[in-house]
Structure 1
């Protein structure tokens, strides 16, 4: 091919490419599958499951005056239900696994429309665990800016082209899950809520997450992320009402974090205090804390894993926000943290019936255990060494399996793996009695655990177990030592 023929071919090829691009671009602009430019009127909308992409169009092109921001913890909010309780016209803009940067980008796009009067924001500490200077690896930021010159990334995205074709050709009665905006990305009906599954996940997480605390972000970095992506929106929009809430994870989720990543746990407490200090400077902001509400966080049957709860809990959160329950104030901000810390220090786990708070008192003095009490076959197990100290008994261990507790003339002998305890009173071994512990003494969570009631009863004058309220048990032991 000579030079003239080559130039002719090149011109034709270039012209063909330009025409093809014009056709594709025009097709995408008109169909606009994610509704970036306008709300769909040519065809019944077929929404995308990719929230990071779809939310840009929802924020830009739909009518609303209230938006919901947050992670998967907010996906089970039903906008029509929120409207019935809080009023307004609600648009849910949740993003599964999102960071504060991503939530802020969606929120800013919606706020820039001038339509927003209220923001309901489920604020996870997890979302702020990112480098303050990091760029999003998953978020299509070109869909959230006001630069028309990078829209080619939307118009010529092959996934979007395919979605446009599906939107035009899929019968309206099909793909119903992606046509109902009220239930878009709501996973309540598909979830399997199970206390047993939560407990199983908890046991595995305590092992799996053992090294998670090695690379925790500094508190200063987390504060900077909050300032950049959350506080900035508040400061820029004093005319908008911001309602934040801290999502209620199971108490077991909090326990694993505290056990495997104590720096994260301390940062979480500190951030609640810091965020409230910033929120309190603005009259258009309120914050609600549901993470210490044991009627939610101990009800493991409402969760599908350690974190994610049912739609019923989302509905309860909305109702209680409307009622002003769990509102954080200057008078109670520290009490919320203290309550969660108390719950964790008194946590007991029954692999059959769930979690509860356990308070043990010896001669009216509270006993605190270093690991959660556990329940096996109806028997509450606690660390035997710490129990012995509380009872005022001398603790002895032979280094392999035998434990001896001695107080005065009473000696209790226990063996690892055995559910029997020998109690000798006085020096006559012939008078020794065998006591059924109900469950074998064994190593759990790195501590030798024993059934508290029969073990303590060997040294007690009296022992009483009560349940003063749901998810709470008290054991009161009297030894007579204080008398």
Structure 2
């Protein structure tokens, strides 16, 4: 056999192997990326960022939620009842604006019935470069969220899929029922210890001061990310309703940053004002801001003992208010809320809790 024929045969064998492996993983589909699985019972045990594209593609919904962990406890059945819709919660913990935008865009392109996007505005999400995604032991699978099918070859040859498939098959073998209900996926905090005055006091006392505010915390950085990740979706989907909200972080969380450096507060409040001005240009957009509601943010019974997260009943209250209350209607109204939050943070005393 000549060298050319040998190389051709070797190349053919290689292509055949690639095709066979691709076909096998396309059919088995460990992350249910292409379809809901019928060969074996689905168990959703992958990292949320890998599991999400298949769920976004194959669930049926009209409303998509994109958020950080502050939105993970929105329970779809409750949202559906209160907003008269069919929803799916696509929240990703510690997600940057780029990731949230990819969730929204993927949902809008895969589910033609989506007419409502509920999107959490989080300072942490915007306080980085516009293309920032979470860096972890498993790289963010950007290729699973884009529209280029040729990228799927990375999914079909991912070693991560082999591990997930093995765990899934083992779970079915031993009849492990964990993580089979999609609505309960990634919900958290049901048994989390509650916040305490003692922990808050110690936490604030140990807050160190900064000489300068980090550059990524300035409004210009956050606004750049906002313009590049949010505005293009508003421009492209003018027939879709976008509901933005600021989650009710506990007041002592804001106070901690204020004690680190007062400009944290000023830059974030300035960001809010400019975001409202940008959003006001769109008739299909509404904004809610719950951060100055002292009935929520000053009640430690609403929060887990991590100075950040609230319990699921607060997620329900957010949905109740979106369903029954008007969004912010004018800059004058919003400036009043912003000044209210500023005063609450500057004047805060632990004894108020």
TM-score normalized with structure 1 length: 0.66
Question: Structure 1's 169 and 197: CA in aligned 2 closer, same or farther, altered over 3 A?
Answer: farther
Residue 118 of structure 1: aligned partner: 116
- From the two aligned structures, give the one with the greater strand fraction: 1
Q: Is the 8 A contact 2:197 2:350 kept in 1?
A: no
Q: Is the 8 A contact 2:130 2:229 kept in 1?
A: no
1:319 equivalent in alignment to 2:320: yes
Per the TM alignment, residue 12 of structure 1 is displaced from its structure 2 partner at its CA by 7.5
Give the secondary structure class of the aligned counterpart of 1:213. Answer: coil
5+ residue gaps, structure 2, are none
- CA distance in structure 2 between the aligned counterparts of 1:322 and 1:173, rounded to whole angstroms: 43
Larger RCO (alpha carbons 8 Å, 6+ apart): 2
Residue 203 of structure 2: aligned partner: 202
Q: Is the 8 A contact 2:250 2:308 kept in 1?
A: yes
1:46 equivalent in alignment to 2:47: no
Question: Structure 1's 65 and 109: CA in aligned 2 closer, same or farther, altered over 3 A?
Answer: same
**Structure 1, residues 89-128: CA drift from partner, whole Å, max 9, x if none?**
1111000110001100111011112221111111111101
- CA distance in structure 1 between the aligned counterparts of 2:263 and 2:66, rounded to whole angstroms: 27
1:153 equivalent in alignment to 2:154: yes
Residue 280 of structure 1: aligned partner: 280
Residue 218 of structure 1: aligned partner: 218
Q: Is the 8 A contact 2:94 2:134 kept in 1?
A: no
Deviates more, 1:259-268 or 1:115-124: 259-268
Residue 82 of structure 1: aligned partner: 79
Question: Structure 1's 143 and 211: CA in aligned 2 closer, same or farther, altered over 3 A?
Answer: farther
- CA distance in structure 1 between the aligned counterparts of 2:283 and 2:202, rounded to whole angstroms: 41
How does 1:38-437 map onto structure 2 within 5 Å? 38-113=35-110, 114-132=112-130, 134=132, 137=135, 138-171=139-172, 174-196=175-197, 198-199=199-200, 202-203=203-204, 206-207=207-208, 210=210, 213-304=213-304, 305-324=306-325, 327-330=327-330, 331-350=332-351, 356=352
Question: Structure 1's 135 and 302: CA in aligned 2 closer, same or farther, altered over 3 A?
Answer: closer
- CA distance in structure 1 between the aligned counterparts of 2:92 and 2:212, rounded to whole angstroms: 24
Per the TM alignment, residue 25 of structure 1 is displaced from its structure 2 partner at its CA by 1.6
**Structure 1, residues 293-317: CA drift from partner, whole Å, max 9, x if none?**
1111111132221111100110111
Moved over 6 A (4+): 4-13
Per the TM alignment, residue 222 of structure 1 is displaced from its structure 2 partner at its CA by 1.6
- CA distance in structure 1 between the aligned counterparts of 2:67 and 2:195, rounded to whole angstroms: 24
**Structure 1, residues 28-84: CA drift from partner, whole Å, max 9, x if none?**
101212222222233322213412111111122221111110001001111111111
Question: Structure 1's 333 and 81: CA in aligned 2 closer, same or farther, altered over 3 A?
Answer: same
Give the secondary structure class of the aligned counterpart of 1:130. Answer: coil
Give the secondary structure class of the aligned counterpart of 2:286. Answer: strand
- CA distance in structure 2 between the aligned counterparts of 1:186 and 1:240, rounded to whole angstroms: 27
- CA distance in structure 1 between the aligned counterparts of 2:45 and 2:344, rounded to whole angstroms: 41
Q: Is the 8 A contact 2:96 2:126 kept in 1?
A: yes
Question: Structure 1's 205 and 287: CA in aligned 2 closer, same or farther, altered over 3 A?
Answer: farther
5+ residue gaps, structure 1, are 351-355, 357-470, 472-483
- CA distance in structure 2 between the aligned counterparts of 1:335 and 1:173, rounded to whole angstroms: 58
Per the TM alignment, residue 329 of structure 1 is displaced from its structure 2 partner at its CA by 2.2
Aligned length: 347
Per the TM alignment, residue 339 of structure 1 is displaced from its structure 2 partner at its CA by 0.6
1:23 equivalent in alignment to 2:24: no
Choose 1 or 2 for highest CA Rg.
1
Question: Cα RMSD between the aligned structures?
Answer: 2.6
Q: Is the 8 A contact 1:71 1:95 kept in 2?
A: yes
Q: Is the 8 A contact 1:292 1:339 kept in 2?
A: yes
Q: Is the 8 A contact 1:198 1:303 kept in 2?
A: no
- From the two aligned structures, give the one with the greater helix fraction: 2
